């Protein structure tokens, strides 16, 4: 981690929601999801929040380091239909060892869509992959 990895880092992501990111497309093999309204799926919302937080870290990690999401505490307060633009803002508020905590807020043209916190852990990519390769799938 670079010394510049400090609270106060921010990022913003504007994301136009395509139909493929709505609830029926989340797990199409599930009839439950397939029958749901075509609005941004919470599962995709979480991914967009993670993406925004990763953007805030650009240039602040060492070569061979990445971050993985380890905790999500987010609301999903309003539906966002396809064609709407979701704006996500993230701020790094705490660095505790290799644990990074962000506050996040997202809105579309009509309402606040999401707010909460997200925590990421800084990993050594090669060491993580070596441990993962050692896991048995049985």
In the chain, where are the structural domains located?
10-133
CA distances to 48, 50, 69, 131 from 104, rounded to whole Å, are 11, 10, 14, 31
Q: Which residues are catalytic, by number?
A: 42, 50, 76
Report yes or no on whether pTM surpasses 0.85. yes
- Domain 10-133 - what CATH class? alpha beta
pLDDT value at residue 135: 81
CA 27 to chain centre: 18
Match 């650009």 to its residue by tokens: 58
pLDDT value at residue 138: 56
Chunked mean pLDDT (size 10), the chain, 138 residues:
95 97 92 93 97 97 96 97 98 97 98 98 93 79
């Amino acid at each position: 981690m670079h010394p510049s990895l400090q609270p106060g880092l921010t990022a913003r992501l504007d994301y136009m929601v395509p139909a493929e990111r709505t609830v029926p497309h989340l797990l199409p093999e599930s009839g439950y999801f397939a029958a749901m309204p075509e609005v941004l799926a919470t599962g995709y919302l979480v991914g967009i929040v993670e993406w925004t937080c990763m953007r805030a870290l650009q240039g602040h990690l060492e070569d061979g380091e990445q971050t993985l999401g380890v905790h999500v505490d987010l609301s999903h307060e309003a539906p966002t239909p396809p064609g709407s633009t979701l704006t996500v803002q993230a701020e790094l508020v705490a660095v505790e060892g290799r644990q990074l905590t962000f506050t996040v807020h997202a809105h579309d043209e009509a309402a606040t869509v999401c707010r909460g916190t997200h925590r990421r852990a800084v990993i050594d990519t090669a060491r993580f992959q070596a441990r993962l390769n050692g896991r048995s799938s049985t």
